Structure 1
Amino acid sequence: MTARRRIRRPALAIASLAIGTTGALVLAGCAGGGAAADGGDGVSIVATTTQVGDFTRELVGGEAKVTQLLGPGQSAHGFDPSAAQLAAIASADALVVNGAGLEGWVDGAVAASGFDGKLIDASTGIELFGTHDHDHDHDHGDETADEHAEHGDETADEHGADDSHDGHDHSGGNPHIWTDPELAEQMVENIADGLAEVSGLDAATIDANESAYTAKLAALDEWIEQNVSQVPVAQRLLVTNHDAFTYFVEAYDLTFVGSVIPSFDDNAEPSAAEIDELVKKIRETGVKAVFSEGSISPKAAETIATEAGVAVYSGEDALYGDALGAEGTDGATYLGSQEHNVRLILESWGVVPTELPAVLQK
């Protein structure tokens, strides 16, 4: 991974995922999913979100069938798997989850389906930030696991996922870990480690695909950092639809002025007072734009931008936050979504990005 000045916060309380101990998922009123399958016969893998689905496909190539539960533009917040999706989970050899508390429905889905394969938690070992945890005190640099232990923090090893389906719940933390490419590297490594233990998959193929893909993530991280560094820190201001970009903000020293929906959950609604407060902050700080997100209605963002007298990025110019985009869009893949987001954010600051590294060019 590339060197990073991001400070590691003390870990939030980490509880066992305890899959299989919750009650069965109520199937009435289940939402239809955006399941997408590819690959050949044999090993069957289910991935929950668009991001972990993309990571998993990069790792297995054509070596396995990958069924993705959430479709393009579909948020994991409040998702309810269909009966067909529960059946896919039941027959899967492995289930790949974002973890970090994002998929609150996973416990029930596993209990209802009777899944007994390999659970792969992509968030293993990643420490979470709390709500609006966006200060930039980088004096201490990156802390090691040993230093966390000295501070009374719990280490990743004490909570690593195992075959008994113990994983990470990370209750109360911000689950949008993929927005920092460096953390995406760690997610990919976790997924690769889990897939290497699935019978029928070739560990050497997984390892080679992991090396190739993490090299792209490292190049993406470096490209973003180089471009963001063109902007003075005081001018790196960001307003988004909801609090989904915490890790991106921390990674590249942005100032998060606020979000239209002041919550991790994109189903929440801002109050009139919260809207007024955000408009006030935008005016006071000199924010140039409000960013909507592809998986959320842009109406509130557009209203706030109009009231504050700033630009709004919506429609095709919305950010990819909770979900990747449809095939053929900029955000159809994780790499494409990050490039799209960064280009638009830089544009809002008046910066033209440099050429992409060769390894990222299509």
Structure 2
Amino acid sequence: MTTRTSAFRRLPATLAGGAVLAVSAVALAGCTAPAASGASGDGPEIVATTTQVGDFARELVGDGAAVTQLLSPGQSAHSFDPSAAQLLALSRADALVVNGGGLESWLDDAVQASGFDGVLIDASTGIELHGTDDHDGEAHDEADAHDEADAHDEADVHDEAEATDAAEDDHAEHDEADHDHGAGNPHIWTDPELAEHMVENIADGLAEVPGVDAAAIAQNETDYLAKLDALDEWISENVETVPVAERLLVTNHDAFTYFIDAYDVTFVGSVIPSFDDNAEPSAAEIDALVDRIRATGATAVFSEASISPKAAETIAAEAGVTVYSGPDALYGDSLGVEGSEGATYLGSQLHNARLILESWGVTPTALPEALQG
């Protein structure tokens, strides 16, 4: 594992059955059988919630167990509603793998409705989540530095700082009122080192599932962690070729906090200032982001593959910068469809890093052998 400092802090690790919310009824929709992969028949049945933890689970079990993934590529975990067929699969599952961190707000209802009583594996166990305001002020500080460089009157600078503080207070109040982020940012997989801890948590949990080959899980874990470590090192080596002041990032929503922390990137802002990709930016928030882009010198706005690019394209046009959308959008909340660059976790992270580096004027180095093929 690489030696850089991460946001990971080992807390007491527990695999709980999960507290469930009392509900009077759960609306069920659809009868399509959920997608599954791996072994079939009498072997263990694993259900995974998101595309990321589904990919991790498949890497770990190989052909030793069937993995049913609830969310489809491009589907938001924030507004997901499991179908009757998916609840049936959950009721039969020997284990349930979840992202955790508050991402699956629908999970407790689904567990109760399905009657699931298997092993619950929380991939976020021991990972300390970033709060709502962990990166607030970074872009504003950058913008203030530009403003101060142009200021000729100390009093004017003081007045401008007070005005900025007032604007930020208003923005924070709006965020608190309109964008409920919950306990913390659940997008932990965007840092490959934290993804390693997620994989370790999943492997530990799967090893306890009756019928699972624990030795095979351990070997697959070792092999996959080596690839994640190579990914982390490759991204770090390429990012470090860019001066820190030029590592500026504008995203579609607040999904890349852990990536930003991992590689010392300055978060200029997001089109949707929320952890929830279903939120909507206000006109004032759009104007403020355009101003920050211009003040910091950011050169690009990144859309996400699972979110409409319209707002990102509008902001990029107003700010006069490049927009990355369509096949050049980032993979945030969801992996891509089969055949796309983002169909796997490793592929999605290589895709994202390559495009971000290119937006900074960097041609990435060749991939290490562990990530080729």
CA 1:314–1:88 in 2, change beyond 3 Å: closer, same or farther?
A: same
Q: Percent identity?
A: 72
Q: What is the aligned partner in structure 2 of residue 228 from structure 1?
A: 239
Letter in 2 for 1:214: L
Q: 1:172-200 CA deviation, whole Å, 9 max, x = no partner? A: 20000000000000000000000000000
| From 259, 262, 269, the counterpart of 1:248 | 259
Q: Is the 8 A contact 1:50 1:324 kept in 2?
A: yes
**2:104 & 2:32 partners in 1: Cα distance?**
14
**1:357 & 1:279 partners in 2: Cα distance?**
38
Unpaired runs of 5+ in structure 1?
138-169
- In the superposition, the TM-score normalised over structure 2's length comes to 0.83
1:5 aligns with 2:5: yes
**1:180 & 1:25 partners in 2: Cα distance?**
37
The offset of 1:4, in angstroms, is 1.3
**1:187 & 1:47 partners in 2: Cα distance?**
13
1:127 aligns with 2:138: no
Q: What is the aligned partner in structure 2 of residue 106 from structure 1?
A: 107
User: Mean alpha-carbon deviation: is it higher for 37-46 or for 305-314?
Assistant: 37-46
Q: Is the 8 A contact 1:136 1:250 kept in 2?
A: no
The offset of 1:304, in angstroms, is 0.3
**2:135 & 2:9 partners in 1: Cα distance?**
11
Q: How does 1:12-23 map to 2 (within 5 A)?
A: 18-23=18-23
Q: What is the aligned partner in structure 2 of residue 273 from structure 1?
A: 284
Q: What is the aligned partner in structure 1 of residue 27 from structure 2?
A: 27
Q: What is the aligned partner in structure 1 of residue 173 from structure 2?
A: none
| From 303, 308, 315, the counterpart of 1:297 | 308
**2:30 & 2:352 partners in 1: Cα distance?**
28
CA 1:117–1:10 in 2, change beyond 3 Å: closer, same or farther?
A: closer
**1:79 & 1:25 partners in 2: Cα distance?**
16
The offset of 1:22, in angstroms, is 3.1
Unpaired runs of 5+ in structure 2?
139-180
- In the superposition, the TM-score normalised over structure 1's length comes to 0.86
**1:193 & 1:7 partners in 2: Cα distance?**
21
Q: Which has the higher helix share?
A: 2
Q: Is the 8 A contact 1:31 1:80 kept in 2?
A: no
Q: Is the 8 A contact 1:9 1:129 kept in 2?
A: no
Q: Is the 8 A contact 2:17 2:117 kept in 1?
A: no
The offset of 1:25, in angstroms, is 5.4
Q: Is the 8 A contact 2:19 2:108 kept in 1?
A: yes
CA 1:236–1:10 in 2, change beyond 3 Å: closer, same or farther?
A: farther
**1:51 & 1:319 partners in 2: Cα distance?**
14
**Aligned length in residues:** 326
Q: Is the 8 A contact 1:100 1:171 kept in 2?
A: no
**1:352 & 1:24 partners in 2: Cα distance?**
55
Q: How does 1:258-337 map to 2 (within 5 A)?
A: 258-337=269-348
SS in 2 for 1:20: coil
Q: How does 1:124-203 map to 2 (within 5 A)?
A: 124-134=125-135, 171-203=182-214
Higher Rg of the two aligned structures: 2
**2:6 & 2:258 partners in 1: Cα distance?**
9
